[in-house]
Structure 1
């Protein structure tokens, strides 16, 4: 899966630096207007509910038909757009040929590092998942270099999948459960025990990813972006809660990811439920993770067993909750109540309209949502006349890897010029 000579800008929406890649922003150069128009055409096609014609794009953008036609021809030649057969004619005149994102164009690789699993996902330019693979194993006993070597091997498996054959790799985004600096340095991942780990540098030493533009970001941020685009046009302001061993949040305001001054917003799991509560790995006490994290829920439900994989324990918890097992229901009720208390504070502060429960919370939503909603209703000042919706993620546990891969192809769609064939 070769890459073009001119590397693409890093994944859209992440705001992170790439190890290789073209800096975004800056004044428009002479070719800037053309590049802007190319991106405008790509976004029009990507957002359309049905394949738009050249005339449709001209009408929507205000560009002349001749300009749109020239831009579309470039994008088709560069394997970024493709033509589809026109719909059956229903009136006079010749039906217009529609345009879609090219299924054989650039693809994005999403990689996720979590405490008890690694994941890889490849999506094509249209955002269709072409391959997904998960390796379930506790990452805490091993050093970062060992974990990253396994992640690179998983990436190699994904890129060698038959469904990915023929696609061109545009880049990779890595989701990590921790604080990520703008250069990709993982400052702190408390549940992994990582401090100041240079993820892009380490992956550059792996043959599978040596020549790939790599972006690193917080897993909840990438999951929130994945959810935003999976629900295109439906949600613009929400808090995405990533429930795993750790708990993170991705905050979407007016359709954009909110990062905070240093890019470290969303550490929901380390907000205090009880200041005098149990010790947390972060060094504080009474953090939400100690009440509503995956391991806390499994222990309280009595389904955690030595040697039993977390995925199997979660399936057992779901079965018991479905059969009204008292311990299982009590564990979920308590976790959801603690989560609702913290989220009520977030809603009071940010005034978001929706909370999306992701990660392990998505399949447990039937039992958790009523208690989360009850706490938000009780504690949010505006809830009486502006209720907050609590929903399960449509991407579930796959949100972070899928969102990471999707951010890569959105960067291509926003900045397609480097991918076009030039004299």
Structure 2
């Protein structure tokens, strides 16, 4: 056996074992001991101890209270993910707001900030400069101080290549924008921090997947904002498609002869169920209310109409029409992919009490297998913060799953 190959195999084995220990600690219901990790993984106690010592020095694990014992002997020290270890910076660009948040290694959100303003009048360079400033302010926040930042992930509502170029974001009016280069050029805040860019619905779906702690393995996450996107999770993994551009739910046709969409096609779902379409249909488009305020007003009016059993109230009619269009399109998705759950996110999450029953009814009428396998429609547990939280969470999960690169060069 050639000698030069042995160190490579040993390095790969060490990397695998480090990730295995981290995942065991992350998945445990209470801080496990070294002996418990050894028993669960099949690794020797000496190997586990050496790996744990390395992870402790690298600020990836910390020692917790002793594990309770039922028998005699001294209780063993427990192990937990290090709250003071590497954290992830999540960023989001949406049509009417910018957002940033920091999530620590335990998954706790340390800081979140939102800047609400219409981004459409501004060039990509201007928007990215504002985002860079927001990132800088976030990293300087007192509740983030002292946390090493392992990386940043940016959620964008559009088609994103693997190297972070936004090929098309119709609702922003962007095409072929090299986001990593433009964002890192805006200032020193992100200098030296690894940056990835992904579709906002994809990152929101990943956030939802992990927030539910394995409760869902196959679902479609629907991101409702001014645009409508979807993140598809199959067998616990995000489905991206051949070029990473899956999930453009908002540009599936409800009516081929319908109104023209910003993408250039006609009758797209966004024209019937997007945020602006709902506000317009509810008679609130001309009031110049901030979107967040308008949506709160919609939810309140819908609740009032429900209490009075007034199904013809304009807001109830608007929500029913949007939900019906959503249901028509989602029924096609369910027929194609055979998922068992639809998760309503973004603006749809707080409106789910009025949207979900109509969506479920449309799916029930149109999905071939629904008689044997009902489809559940749920509200997102992360709500409007799913994309930015999912972005930051993706960074820390990468460290937890593959800690060796951090130990080598990130400390």
User: Which TM-score applies when normalising by structure 2?
Assistant: 0.94
Residues in 1 aligned to 2:189 and 2:39: alpha-carbon distance in whole angstroms? 44
Q: Which residue of 1 aligns with 2:3?
A: none
- Give 1:90 shift: 3.8
Q: Does 1:96 align with 2:76?
A: yes
Residues in 2 aligned to 1:366 and 1:129: alpha-carbon distance in whole angstroms? 27
Q: Does 1:82 align with 2:62?
A: yes
Q: Does 1:288 align with 2:269?
A: yes
Deviations for 1:303-354, whole angstroms, at most 9, x for unmatched residues?
Answer: 2235321111111111111100600100000100100010000000000111
Q: Is the CA contact (8 Å cut-off) linking 1:77 and 1:421 kept in structure 2?
A: no
Alignment of 1:197-212 (within 5 A): 197-206=177-186, 207-212=188-193
Deviates more, 1:266-275 or 1:319-328: 319-328
Q: Which residue of 2 aligns with 1:363?
A: 350
What secondary structure sits across from 2:143 in the alignment?
Answer: helix
What secondary structure sits across from 2:336 in the alignment?
Answer: helix
What secondary structure sits across from 1:277 in the alignment?
Answer: coil
Residues in 2 aligned to 1:124 and 1:297: alpha-carbon distance in whole angstroms? 36
Deviates more, 1:245-254 or 1:93-102: 93-102
Q: Is the CA contact (8 Å cut-off) linking 2:261 and 2:267 kept in structure 1?
A: yes
Q: Does 1:48 align with 2:48?
A: no
Residue 171 of structure 2 is aligned with which of 157, 180, 191?
Answer: 191
Residue 414 of structure 1 is aligned with which of 385, 398, 401?
Answer: 401
Q: Is the CA contact (8 Å cut-off) linking 2:32 and 2:67 kept in structure 1?
A: no
What secondary structure sits across from 1:162 in the alignment?
Answer: coil
Q: Is the CA contact (8 Å cut-off) linking 2:83 and 2:104 kept in structure 1?
A: yes
Q: Which residue of 2 aligns with 1:165?
A: 145
Residues in 2 aligned to 1:417 and 1:321: alpha-carbon distance in whole angstroms? 52
Residues in 2 aligned to 1:231 and 1:316: alpha-carbon distance in whole angstroms? 29
Q: Which residue of 2 aligns with 1:390?
A: 377
Q: Is the CA contact (8 Å cut-off) linking 1:122 and 1:129 kept in structure 2?
A: yes
Sort the Cα spacing of 1:133 and 1:419 in 2 relative to 1 into closer, same or farther, 3 A. same
Q: Does 1:109 align with 2:96?
A: no
Deviations for 1:154-201, whole angstroms, at most 9, x for unmatched residues?
Answer: 101110111111100101000000000111000000000000000000
Sort the Cα spacing of 1:187 and 1:28 in 2 relative to 1 into closer, same or farther, 3 A. farther
Residues in 2 aligned to 1:92 and 1:33: alpha-carbon distance in whole angstroms? 35
Alignment of 1:291-330 (within 5 A): 291-324=272-305, 326-330=313-317
Sort the Cα spacing of 1:421 and 1:382 in 2 relative to 1 into closer, same or farther, 3 A. closer
Sort the Cα spacing of 1:29 and 1:183 in 2 relative to 1 into closer, same or farther, 3 A. farther
Q: Which residue of 1 aligns with 2:4?
A: none
Residue 373 of structure 1 is aligned with which of 360, 379, 393?
Answer: 360
Q: Is the CA contact (8 Å cut-off) linking 1:303 and 1:316 kept in structure 2?
A: no
Q: Which residue of 2 aligns with 1:243?
A: 224
Deviations for 1:236-276, whole angstroms, at most 9, x for unmatched residues?
Answer: 00000000000000000000000111110000000000000
- Give 1:53 shift: 1.0
Q: Which residue of 1 aligns with 2:211?
A: 230
Which runs of no fewer than 5 residues in structure 2 stay unpaired?
A: 1-6
- Give 1:421 shift: 6.8
Residues in 2 aligned to 1:66 and 1:300: alpha-carbon distance in whole angstroms? 66
Q: Which has the higher contact order (CA 8 A, sep 6+)?
A: 1
- Give 1:204 shift: 1.6
Residues in 1 aligned to 2:9 and 2:185: alpha-carbon distance in whole angstroms? 35
Aligned residues: 397
Residue 178 of structure 1 is aligned with which of 158, 173, 196?
Answer: 158
Which runs of no fewer than 5 residues in structure 1 stay unpaired?
A: 1-26
Q: Which residue of 2 aligns with 1:277?
A: 258
Q: Which residue of 2 aligns with 1:20?
A: none
Q: Is the CA contact (8 Å cut-off) linking 2:33 and 2:67 kept in structure 1?
A: no
Q: Which residue of 2 aligns with 1:253?
A: 234
- Give 1:210 shift: 2.0
Q: Which residue of 2 aligns with 1:21?
A: none
